[in-house]
Every structure is written in C-alpha cells, then in structure tokens.
C-alpha cells in the first residue's frame, strides 16, 4: 500500500503548489515511484497549472488524465457522487506508486470553512493524512499588490490554525504536519513556537518575493498586450514595483527602482526615450520593462530610433487607460510553473532550507528503499556532495601519477625490460591501428624466444626484434 499525503489549505493564495513541489521532490529521494493526484480541477477543457507543474518533475510515471478526479462543476452538482469518483480514481493511481502527493482543491479562492471541510472529508475517505498549509499573509484585510501583502502576526496565525484544525477534527481527518508558508522572515521562531503542540511537526517558510511577484509575461497577459520591442526571453523578469510616468522626466528618473515596471502614455514619446536612455546608461537601476498604455501607435521615426539603441528592455503596448493598466498590473501575481526554471529552483531551495526532509519522510513511514533508480542515484550523489564538500584537484594528463595506471606505461614494469630502454616511461597510448601494425611486424613463427603461455605479441618478441619495434615512433 502506498504512503500518501494530502496537501490542503484554509484559504487561497497560500503557496500550496510550491509546498507540493517540495514534498514531491523530497519523496523522490527515498521512493522509486511517486505519483501525484489532483482530486478537483477547475475545468475539463483547460489543463490544471499545479498538476502540470508536478507532472513535469522527473520521475513521475503518470499521464495527466489519470491524475485528475473530478471538476468543480461535478462537486457543486453532486458532492457525494463526486467523492465516490475521486476515491476510485485515486485508488487506481495509488496501485501504481509507492507514494502519492495529493493536492487539495481551491475552487472558490475564498477562505471558507466549507471548502476546507470538503477537503478534509476527501482526505478521510482516501485514508490519507493531511499536511495543512497556512498562509503567513493577511489577504482578508489587505489587498495583494504585485503578489504580496501585509504579514500576519503569530497570534493571527494561531487563530487561523485553530479554525482549520477544528474543521479537520469534525471530518475525522488525521493531521500529519503544519507548514506556515509566506511567513514573516523575522517571526519564524515565534510562529513555530505558537503552533507546536509536541505531537505533529510544524515548519515555517518565509516569504520570497521572486516567487509571488508577477513576471512581464504575466503582466502582458493580464493587459492583453503585445510586445512592441525588446527581447522575448526578458519577459521572465519579475516586476517588484510600478512607476506611473505621468510627470516630467526630472521627477520620473529619481523614482526608478530596481525591477520596476514603468507605465507611460503611448503619446509621451519623449518620456519613453528618456526612460530607455536611463536603462542604457548604467547609472540608473535596471527596470523590468515598460508598458505603453492608450490607443496610440508609435511613429515610425521613434521605432527607428529605438531600434538604433539596440536595447533588450521589453516594451509592451495596451489599449487600456492609465488607471485600468495600473490596477491590472497591481493585481497580477506570479506563479511557479513548469516553464519557470528559476522560480522552480528557488522554490525547491527554499523548501529544503526550512523543512526537515528527513523528518518528513520518516513521519510518512517511508524508509530508504532497497531499489535504486537512476533518479534516486542522482539525488544520492547530490546529497553526499552537499554534506561532504571537498576540493578536488584533477591531475594533469602528462604526469607520472596519471600515467602509471595506463597500460602503455612500461608494460614490463621493470627497468631491465628490453623495451624500457627505448620507450619513454610514460609514453602516450598508441592508436589501435598503430598497435596492430607493430604486431604484424613482430609476428613470426614460434621460436625459443616465444613464451609458451602467451600468444605472439610484442611482449613475447625476441630482444632484438622488440628493440627494433620499440625504436619505431608511434604515430
């Protein structure tokens, strides 16, 4: 029977997908086959982003359709029937794997006890313990701006945890562990101490702006914009602030900060050029990109001038007004997807730093497997290299130490060998075709010089013939 874990949260935007990614990566180190399962997805027509993220991980041997339970509409129409479908589909996945990571639903995006209660009900029917994810950000009283908001205090997190645990107990769901994600970096110890009851593990992961800040690609999608100029690959840059360039450049330039997205009216070409010059000067902070708003096309002469600057800064155009543009940018948040390589690695590194992976796997009852897959072998090498850092100096190719093990170095292994007087001690290995030519020249009918235990070769040549062979320079 597979050992599984059900990851759920009490509200939306808690970073549940990054926790699931970290748990999946941890289980891959000790189990040959780890599966993933999403009991509820948003739509049958659109692929689930979280499920695609987990399936893209190396070593997950499952298809997308096999990892899906039901849709949100199925749950709303008949919750009991949907629960039965979820259980049957999960058992099919469980039969193929040693461990399964189940990522709970988030179909309302609103903190609701009913939503958490249904997730707890699913976990209880699946027979899977719950890993509860709590958000360290106050999303009810403060709106998110560029993916982040005000941090919760340890006391507020304790209140959210008490409500969530009561829902789990009401549905007879077993609590496995608690993770406070996106927590205040300065209050990690206080948060853990407030939630630690000595019975289940508690971990806290700090907020990382690069994981929640929107990328320029996400901003372009939110604005329904188009890339006018700039490099396509730089659309992966994160935007950490917004600057509305509605004033003279003497007042805009001091407000440029690192990672800012600058919003400029499309008919303010002098502001656009001044911003581009600031980005090219090297004396101002690097901006994430520029957004031109309004139904105005850039003149050809301005585009020609921009092309001459040869800048890669993304310039996005949208027909929206200044207010709507700013609001959409501020409400855009970043996502960790299968294509976001840098965010993917950052999320894994953050999880490994603040979560005890050994304790996690032990609590799940997953001992080290005797089967070693290529992926597990790679993980083992990486972990041993991390735990025992060494400074390795590779020998040079022409030194005696490196040549001593080569078969071309003094085959007789004696200073009195007939060949050792003419062949260098560490001669380069002869090419195969050259060695065959030597054997042809040295081959002769057996005489008293041949060794009875060895076939005709240069080792068995008579001294005079071996000397002639060894004096011949090998190509």
pLDDT attached to residue 101: 95
- 112-121, 135-144, 439-448: least confidently modelled range: 439-448
Q: How far is 26 from 30, CA to CA, in rounded Å?
A: 8
- 204-213, 251-260, 368-377: least confidently modelled range: 368-377
Q: How far is 429 from 253, CA to CA, in rounded Å?
A: 66
pLDDT attached to residue 308: 92
Residue 125: φ, ψ to 5°: -75, -30
Angle at 162 between CA 159 and CA 73, to 5 degrees: 100
Q: Which long-range contacts (CB under 8 A, 24 or more apart) does 119-123 make?
A: 119/6, 119/8, 120/8, 120/167, 120/168, 120/170, 120/171, 120/173, 121/83, 121/171, 121/173, 122/6, 122/39, 122/83, 122/86, 123/6, 123/8, 123/171, 123/173, 123/174
pLDDT attached to residue 109: 41
Torsion of CA 332, 55, 106, 217, to 10 degrees: 10
Nearest to 36 by CA among 15, 60, 58: 60
Q: Is the pLDDT of residue 388 over 60?
A: yes
Q: Is the pLDDT of residue 435 over 60?
A: no
pLDDT attached to residue 243: 96
Strand 241-244 with 99-103, pairing: unpaired
123-134, pLDDT tens digit by residue? 999 989 999 999
pLDDT attached to residue 380: 63
Q: How far is 372 from 280, CA to CA, in rounded Å?
A: 52
Token readout for 408 is: 């071309």
pLDDT attached to residue 263: 97
Strand 130-135 with 260-265, pairing: unpaired
The better pLDDT of the pair 468, 362 is held by 362
Nearest to 217 by CA among 206, 226, 228, 207: 226
pLDDT attached to residue 213: 93
Domains and CATH numbers, the chain: 3-212+337-384 (3.40.50.300), 216-331 (3.40.1390.20), 400-471 (no CATH)
Q: Span 46-71, mean pLDDT?
A: 90
- Residue 362 pLDDT grade (very low, low, confident, very high; cuts 50, 70, 90): confident
Q: How far is 413 from 49, CA to CA, in rounded Å?
A: 65
pLDDT attached to residue 43: 84
Give residues with Cβ within 8 angstroms of 37, minimum separation 6. 67, 69, 89, 90, 93, 100, 101, 102, 103
170-199, pLDDT tens digit by residue? 988 999 999 999 999 999 999 999 999 888
Q: Is the pLDDT of residue 70 over 90?
A: yes
DSSP letter for each residue of 145-204: BTTB-PBPPHHHHHHHHHHHHHHHHHTTPPEEEEEEEEE-GGGHHHHHHHH--SSS-EEE
Return the DSSP state at 214: P
Residue that the structure tokens 């600031």 belong to? 278
418-433, pLDDT tens digit by residue? 444 444 444 444 444 4
Strand 315-318 with 226-229, pairing: antiparallel
pLDDT attached to residue 288: 96
Nearest to 85 by CA among 25, 23, 40: 40
262-283, pLDDT tens digit by residue? 999 999 999 999 999 999 998 9
pLDDT attached to residue 42: 87
Residue that the structure tokens 């690192």 belong to? 258
295-304, pLDDT tens digit by residue? 999 999 999 9
Average pLDDT score, the chain: 81
């Amino acid at each position: 029977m597979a050992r599984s874990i059900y990851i759920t949260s009490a509200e939306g935007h808690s970073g549940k997908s990054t926790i699931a990614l970290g748990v999946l990566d941890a289980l891959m180190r000790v189990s040959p086959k780890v599966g993933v399962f999403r009991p509820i997805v948003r739509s049958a027509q659109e692929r689930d982003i979280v499920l695609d993220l987990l399936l893209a991980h190396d070593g997950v041997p499952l298809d997308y359709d096999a990892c899906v339970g039901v849709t949100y509409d199925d749950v709303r129409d008949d919750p009991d029937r949907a629960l039965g479908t979820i259980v049957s589909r999960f058992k099919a996945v469980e039969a193929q794997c040693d461990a399964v990571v189940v990522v709970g639903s988030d179909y309302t995006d609103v903190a609701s006890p009913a939503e958490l209660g249904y997730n707890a009900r699913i976990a209880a029917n699946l027979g899977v313990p719950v890993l509860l994810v709590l958000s360290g950000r106050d999303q009810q009283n403060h709106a998110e701006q560029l993916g982040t908001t005000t941090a919760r205090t340890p006391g507020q997190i304790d209140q959210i945890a008490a409500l969530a645990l009561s829902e789990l107990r009401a549905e007879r769901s077993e609590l496995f562990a608690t993770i406070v994600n996106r927590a205040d970096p300065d209050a990690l110890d206080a948060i853990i101490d407030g939630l630690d009851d000595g019975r289940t593990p508690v971990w806290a992961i700090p907020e990382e702006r690069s994981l929640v800040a929107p990328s320029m690609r996400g901003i372009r999608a939110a604005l329904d914009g188009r890339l006018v100029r700039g490099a396509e690959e730089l659309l992966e840059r994160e935007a950490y602030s917004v600057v509305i360039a509605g004033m003279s450049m003497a007042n805009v330039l001091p407000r440029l900060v690192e990672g800012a997205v600058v919003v400029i009216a499309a008919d303010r070409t002098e502001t656009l050029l001044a911003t581009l010059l600031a980005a090219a000067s090297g004396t101002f902070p690097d901006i994430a990109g520029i957004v031109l708003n309004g139904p105005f096309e850039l003149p050809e002469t301005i585009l020609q001038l921009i092309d001459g600057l040869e800048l890669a800064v993304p310039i996005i155009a949208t027909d929206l007004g200044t207010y709507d543009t700013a609001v959409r940018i501020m409400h855009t948040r970043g996502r960790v997807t299968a294509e976001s390589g840098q965010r993917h690695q950052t999320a894994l590194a953050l999880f490994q730093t603040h979560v005890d992976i050994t304790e996690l796997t032990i609590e799940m009852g997953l001992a080290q497997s005797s089967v070693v897959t290529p992926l597990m072998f790679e993980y083992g090498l990486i972990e041993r290299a991390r735990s025992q850092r060494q400074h390795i100096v590779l020998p040079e190719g022409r030194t005696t130490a490196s040549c001593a093990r080569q078969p071309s170095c003094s085959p007789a292994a004696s200073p009195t060998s007939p060949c050792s007087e003419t062949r260098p001690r560490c001669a380069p290995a002869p090419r195969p075709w050259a060695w065959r030519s030597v054997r042809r020249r040295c081959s002769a009918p057996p005489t008293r010089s041949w060794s009875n235990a060895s076939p005709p070769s240069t080792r068995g040549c008579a001294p005079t013939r071996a000397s002639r062979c060894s004096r011949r320079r090998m190509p």
